[in-house]
């Protein structure tokens, strides 16, 4: 980029504030609008739920799987946004007596993540009203946030950019012409994306800014931390895939033998790894920013760790 086209970091924070003010939405008035979920509709699009991977299930059963995954989607976002918000508030400290526009961008980011967590709690409860009992998401967001914030800021920002970018990919999936997709769930993707776009821009600014202060050795440790964080997320996804497969088998209305139960659990895990790890890690922009910060060897370590989660 030359001097004419280059947008300064100050301008980027200002642009995030400006767009954040323009797209700001309300949970009830804009997203939910008095609607309820309808179990005749899919909640997650096939491309996200990986409907094709559930080879033993009927079309109706695949729709039920998309609804279970929709509920887990709300819970996973509620979970990760707890630590994202805590990290954003921590980073805001570095702007208290500096660029007040950057500070405003982070304060708005935090405010939006609090609202998103409230939205996802509502979505979880609303889906609970229409699906059979027995679903569980047994992960404490505060305990996870404590563990995540024990890792280096570099690693947490890497994971956060990955998450904010995959939420944009999920929105794009939701606007594909997927027949039978819930309009209410489609709006959850739409409104979440409207604010996540600014978050991804801020993550990148903060990550690159923080990276500039690290020594090579500190960055090398941070790469290990990032790999450990991804593995920890994968552990949560493995547990939830087991819980959701068990819930499906117990409530789908027919007998599921052991071999099929294993296949269904594997399919849930494949879908969750796609949604929460690979769709972000494969995002071209994530790859560009990451590779601009790390060595070739560090990149190979990360690739090997991700490849193990297939
Ligand atoms: Fe969010
Ligand atoms: Fe966000």
Residue 86: is its pLDDT beyond 60? yes
Distance 260 CA to ligand 2 centre (A): 36
**Which ligand lies nearest to the CA atom of residue 199 in the structure?**
2
* pLDDT for residue 7: 74
* pLDDT for residue 290: 96
Distance 233 CA to ligand 2 centre (A): 17
**Span 266-295, mean pLDDT?**
94
Distance 189 CA to ligand 1 centre (A): 10
**Span 157-172, mean pLDDT?**
91
pLDDT band for position 126 (cuts 50, 70, 90): very high
Give the mean pLDDT of the chain.
94
**Which ligand lies nearest to the CA atom of residue 117 in the structure?**
1
Distance 250 CA to ligand 1 centre (A): 32
Q: Residue 181 — φ and ψ, nearest 5°? A: -80, 135
Instruction: Give CA 128 to chain center in angstroms.
Output: 21
> What distance in Å separates the CA atoms of residue 227 and residue 64, rounded to the nearest whole number?
33
Q: What is the reported pTM?
A: 0.94
> What distance in Å separates the CA atoms of residue 219 and residue 293, rounded to the nearest whole number?
9
Distance 164 CA to ligand 2 centre (A): 5
Residues 244-262: tens digit of each pLDDT: 999 999 999 999 999 999 9
HSE-up (13 A, CA, CB side) for residue 272: 31
């Amino acid at each position: 980029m030359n001097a004419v086209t280059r947008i300064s970091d100050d301008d980027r924070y200002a642009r995030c504030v400006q767009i954040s003010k323009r797209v700001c939405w309300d949970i009830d008035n804009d997203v939910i609008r008095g609607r309820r979920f309808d179990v005749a509709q899919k909640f997650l699009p096939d491309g996200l739920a990986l409907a094709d991977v559930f080879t033993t299930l009927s079309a109706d059963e695949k729709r039920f799987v998309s609804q279970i995954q929709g509920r887990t989607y709300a819970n996973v976002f509620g979970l990760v946004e707890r630590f994202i918000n805590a990290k954003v508030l921590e980073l805001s400290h570095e702007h208290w007596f500096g660029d007040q526009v950057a500070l405003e961008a982070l304060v708005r980011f935090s405010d939006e993540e609090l609202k998103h967590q409230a939205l996802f709690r509502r979505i979880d409860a609303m889906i609970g009203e229409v699906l059979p009992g027995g679903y569980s998401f047994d992960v404490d967001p505060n305990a996870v946030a404590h563990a995540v914030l024990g890792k280096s800021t570099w690693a947490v920002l890497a994971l956060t950019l990955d998450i904010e970018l995959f939420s944009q990919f999920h929105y794009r999936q939701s606007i594909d012409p997927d027949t039978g997709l819930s309009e209410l769930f489609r709006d959850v993707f739409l409104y979440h994306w409207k604010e996540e776009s600014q978050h991804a821009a801020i993550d990148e600014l903060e990550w690159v800014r923080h990276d500039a202060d690290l020594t090579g050795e500190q960055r090398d440790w941070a790469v290990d931390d990032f790999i450990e964080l991804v593995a920890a997320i994968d552990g949560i996804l493995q547990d939830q895939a087991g819980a959701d497969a068990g819930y499906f088998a117990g409530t789908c209305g027919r007998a599921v033998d052991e071999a099929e139960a294993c296949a269904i659990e594997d399919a849930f895990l494949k879908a969750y790894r796609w949604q929460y790890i690979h769709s972000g890690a494969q995002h071209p922009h994530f790859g560009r920013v990451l590779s601009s910060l790390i060595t070739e060897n560090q990149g190979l370590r990360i690739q090997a760790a991700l490849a193990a989660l297939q």
